[in-house]
Amino acid sequence: MADAIVSEVVGRIATMLEDKIRYEVNLVRGVKDELRYLSEKLKSIQMVLDDAEKRGVKDESVKRWLKKLEATAYEMDDILDEWNYYSLLKDKMEPKQKIGCSFIRSSCLCFKKVSVRRDIAKKTENVKAMLEQIYEERKKFDFVMAPPTTDPVPTPWRVQTTPFIDLTKVHGVDIHNKKEDIVSKLMLNGGHTQVLSIVGTGGLGKTTLAKLVYNDERVKDCFELRIWICVSDPFDVAGIAIGIVNEVGKETIPPNSNQLTLVLKKLEASISGNKFLLVLDDVWTEDNTKWEPLKISLQCGAAGSKILVTTRKETVAKMVGTLNDDMYHPNKLSEEECWSLLCDTSLLGKSDEECGKFEVFGKKIARKCNGLPLAAVVLGTLLQFKDLEGWKDVEKSEIWQLENAKVELFPHLVLSYNDLSPALKRCFSYCAVYPKDHQIHARTLIEEWMAQGYLGSDSGNGALELKGRENLRNLAMRCLIQDIEKSESGEQIERCKMHDIVHDFAMFLRKNDDTERSCQACDSSLVSHVQEYRSLPWDYEPPVDERDGSFQVCNCMKSLRVLRIKKNVSLIPVGIEMLIHLRCLDFSWIELPKDDLEIICRLYFLQTLLLSCCGVTVIPREIGNLNQLRRLDLSMNGLEVIPQEIGNLVKLRELDLSHNYRMKELPESICSLVELQILKIEGTRINCVPEALGELSNLHTLQLCEFKVGSEYNKLGFLKTVYRCLTESLRLEIYWSSMSEMEELVEDARRAELQTVLQKLKSLNIYFRGRMNEMEQSSSSSMWMEVAEALVPHHNLKKLVIRRYEGSRLPDFMSSPHNYIKEIHLTFLSEVSSLPAMGKLPFLEILQFYRLDELMFVGREFIGIESSCDDVVVAFPKLEVLNFSRCSKWEEWEDMTEEEEEEEESAAISIMPCLTKLTIRSCTRLKKLPHRLLHKVSSSLQSLSIIDSAELVKTYGEDKEGSGWRSISQHNPQLQLKLRL
Give exposure, 150-163, as e/b (b: 16+ Cβ within 10 Å). Answer: eebbbeeebeeeeb
pLDDT value for 66: 82
pLDDT value for 905: 64
Pairing of strands 194-199, 306-311: parallel
Q: Is 343 exposed, middle or buried, given 0-12, 13-18 or 19+ CB atoms closer than 10 A? A: buried
What gap in Å lies between CA 27 and CA 841, rounded to an integer?
73
Alpha helix (H) residue ranges in 204-274: 206-214, 217-222, 237-248, 260-271
Which helix (H) or strand (E) element contains residue 918?
Answer: strand 917-921
Q: Measured between alpha carbons, how far is residue 215 from residues 175, 311, 961 in Å?
A: 14, 19, 48
Q: Is 69 exposed, middle or buried, given 0-12, 13-18 or 19+ CB atoms closer than 10 A? A: buried
pLDDT value for 93: 58
Q: What's the full length of the chain, in residues?
A: 981
pLDDT value for 401: 38
DSSP per-residue letters across 821-885: --EEEEEEESS--S---GGG-TT--EEEEEEETT--EE-GGGGT--STT-S--EESTT--EEEEE
Per the CB < 8 A criterion, the answer to whether 557 and 579 are in contact is yes
Q: Is 769 exposed, middle or buried, given 0-12, 13-18 or 19+ CB atoms closer than 10 A? A: middle
What gap in Å lies between CA 803 and CA 706, rounded to an integer?
13
What gap in Å lies between CA 487 and CA 442, rounded to an integer?
11
**At residue 184, what is the residue type?**
S
Q: Measured between alpha carbons, how far is residue 478 from residues 377, 475, 494, 695 in Å?
A: 9, 5, 17, 41
pLDDT value for 541: 59
Per the CB < 8 A criterion, the answer to whether 183 and 213 are in contact is yes
Give exposure, 621-633, as e/b (b: 16+ Cβ within 10 Å). Answer: ebbbbbbbbbbbb
What are phi and psi for residue 225, nearest 5 degrees?
-125, 135
Q: Measured between alpha carbons, how far is residue 493 from residues 404, 482, 639, 899 in Å?
A: 35, 11, 33, 61
DSSP per-residue letters across 57-103: TT-HHHHHHHHHHHHHHHHHHHHHHHHHHHHHHHHHHHHHHHHHT-H
Angle at 662 between CA 658 and CA 666, to 5 degrees: 65
**Average pLDDT per block of 10 residues along the chain, 981 residues long:** 67 64 48 76 79 76 83 82 75 50 38 62 82 84 64 32 43 88 88 88 83 90 91 82 89 76 90 92 86 90 92 86 91 88 84 86 82 80 83 66 44 71 87 88 93 80 86 82 82 86 80 62 76 77 61 81 76 82 90 87 93 92 92 94 93 94 92 92 88 87 83 80 81 86 83 75 88 68 80 85 90 88 94 92 95 93 67 81 95 83 68 91 91 76 88 73 62 72 71
DSSP per-residue letters across 310-325: EES-HHHHHHTT--GG
Each as own residue / partner, the long-range contacts of residues 188-192 (CB below 8 Å, 24 or more positions apart, any chain) are 188/304, 189/303, 189/304, 190/303, 190/304, 191/303, 192/299
Three-state DSSP class for 479? coil
Strands (DSSP E) contained in 435-537 are 440-441, 482-486, 493-497, 535-536
What gap in Å lies between CA 447 and CA 630, rounded to an integer?
9
What gap in Å lies between CA 644 and CA 624, rounded to an integer?
8
Crossing angle, helix 411-418 and helix 373-383, to 10 degrees?
20
Per the CB < 8 A criterion, the answer to whether 666 and 690 are in contact is yes
pLDDT value for 312: 80
What gap in Å lies between CA 733 and CA 725, rounded to an integer?
18
Whole-prediction pTM value? 0.71
What gap in Å lies between CA 330 and CA 199, rounded to an integer?
7
Bridge-partner residues for 947, per DSSP? 921, 980
Of the candidates 274, 222, 221, which has an alpha carbon nearest to the alpha carbon of residue 247? 274
**At residue 978, what is the residue type?**
K
Each as own residue / partner, the long-range contacts of residues 755-759 (CB below 8 Å, 24 or more positions apart, any chain) are 755/792, 755/793, 755/794, 756/794, 757/719, 757/720, 757/723, 758/719, 758/723, 758/726, 758/730, 758/793, 758/794, 758/797, 759/794, 759/796
pLDDT value for 567: 61
